[in-house]
Amino acid sequence: MALAIFDLDNTLLDGDSDYLWGEYMVANDIVDRTNYQLENRAFLHDYQRGQLDNNEYLQFALKPLTLYSVDRLYAWRADYVKNWIKPIIAPGTPDLLERHRSQGDTLIIVSATNLFITKPIAELLNIPHILSTEPEIIENRYTGRYLGTPTYKEGKITALNAWLDNNDHSLVGSYFYSDSINDLPLLELVSTPIAVNPDDELAIIAKQREWQILNLRSQGN
């Protein structure tokens, strides 16, 4: 039974759930429209270039969670997942996930996006395990801080190794699907790295190393 590991944004989804949550908050006047939207776009561009200051980004991304009760946040989140995320599940994602399930593989998402956003998406996709940057909650309120090591770049390996230490799995025969050059450390660690709709830098490396390149945005590829 192999481990099938998936990045989330622009891999299983045809879009970035972290960025889109920011856009959802802007659209619903949960945050200040002008300032938040500009910063959100700037951070996205930094991520796409592999130049993101992740600690600075997490301070920005987690701050809105501190302003509202968890009940209100979870109501917004449910609406967001239903109306913004469900429509952008990549067309090839269900078949890919089912293929691994039919092989008896264990499915796990490892995403840099924080757990507030990713947990209900993993549930929507029926993926039982998720490693994601965990926002801190104290007395039923988000604090704006996070717990442990953020699951970004090499942090994904740190989180995955900790998970492996506590579960009856190994990376022998493992797969990892990702679109991003930011995930190169973990792609280099698994048995079968697969580039999904890769960014330009990852596409070059995938071709050089003869890794499989997959297009989940087109059904059946």
Whole-Å CA distances, 23 to 8, 30, 77, 112, 171: 18, 10, 12, 18, 36
Order of strands, sheet of 212-214, starting from the edge strand that comes earlier in the sequence = 129-132, 106-111, 3-6, 175-178, 192-196, 212-214
Q: Please, which residues bridge with residue 109 across strands?
A: 6, 130
Given the residues 9, 16, 18, 179, select the one marked as catalytic: 9
Residue 9 known to be catalytic:
yes
Given the residues 7, 105, 179, 183, select the one marked as catalytic: 7
23's CB contacts (< 8 A; 6+ apart) are 37, 40
The radius of gyration computed from the CA coordinates of the chain, to the nearest angstrom, equals 17
Q: State the first-to-last Cα distance of the chain, in angstroms, to the nearest integer.
A: 24
168's CB contacts (< 8 A; 6+ apart) are none
Active site residues: 7, 9
